């Protein structure tokens, strides 16, 4: 079993164990610490979507920091079952919703909007390009969009041309980006 540690908030220092799965790469502690410094330590009242949840590190971290509602979408049955176990273990209750399914299909059918969306799909499979055209209607106007990728990104294409990278970093092979909607002049 692999493990990830929640680094802040209510569940700080809790360790979550998860099964191996192809393409599963938990966001490293250092990167999550940077991300939540960018977003702010307190996410009270915010709604978050972790579209390719994997280990659940980003979604559970957001819930631990007070997010009102976090939806974690995971395709693998074994990994989704592990996420359910973690939610129960942490006593997350209705704050955390686990959806077993394809991230692109979920984005295409979802009618909710979110304050923060986390996109950290398996690399080299074109997931970002497939999901990007669907994100605009899921993002509230003042939302934050976090993307991890194998390469540096400036934007996510014509469907999100108003969303620009405002913060970026690199840790090992991971390029991470925070995008926000920019007023076009």
Our count of domains for the chain comes to 1
Beta-carbon count within 10 A of 76 CB:
19
What span, in angstroms and rounded, lies between the C-alpha atoms of 99 and 84?
9
Q: Which of 72, 79, 90 is nearest to 25 (CA)?
A: 79
At 96, which CATH number? 3.40.50.150
Q: Which domain holds residue 127?
A: 2-181
Q: Name the CA radius of gyration of the chain, rounded.
A: 15
Beta-carbon count within 10 A of 34 CB:
17
Read off the pLDDT of residues 131-148 as tens digits, 9 standing for 90 and up.
999 998 999 999 999 999
Section 18-34 average pLDDT:
76
- The reported pTM is 0.92
């Amino acid at each position: 079993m692999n493990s990830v540690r929640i680094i802040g908030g209510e569940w700080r220092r809790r360790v979550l164990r998860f099964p191996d799965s192809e393409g599963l790469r938990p966001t490293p502690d250092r990167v999550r610490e940077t991300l939540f410094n960018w977003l702010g330590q307190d996410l009270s009242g915010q709604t978050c979507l972790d579209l390719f949840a994997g280990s659940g590190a980003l979604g559970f971290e957001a819930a631990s920091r007070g997010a009102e509602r976090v939806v974690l979408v995971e395709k693998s049955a074994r990994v989704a079952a592990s996420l359910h176990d973690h939610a129960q273990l942490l006593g997350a209750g209705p704050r955390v919703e686990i959806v077993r399914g394809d991230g692109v299909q979920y984005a295409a059918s979802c009618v909710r909007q979110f304050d923060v969306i986390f996109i950290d799909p398996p690399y080299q499979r074109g997931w970002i390009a497939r999901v990007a055209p669907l994100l605009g209607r899921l993002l509230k106007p003042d939302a934050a969009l976090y993307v991890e990728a194998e390469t540096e990104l400036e934007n996510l294409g014509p469907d999100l041309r108003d969303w620009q990278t405002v913060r970026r970093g690199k840790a090992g092979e991971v390029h991470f980006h925070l995008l926000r909607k920019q007023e076009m002049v």
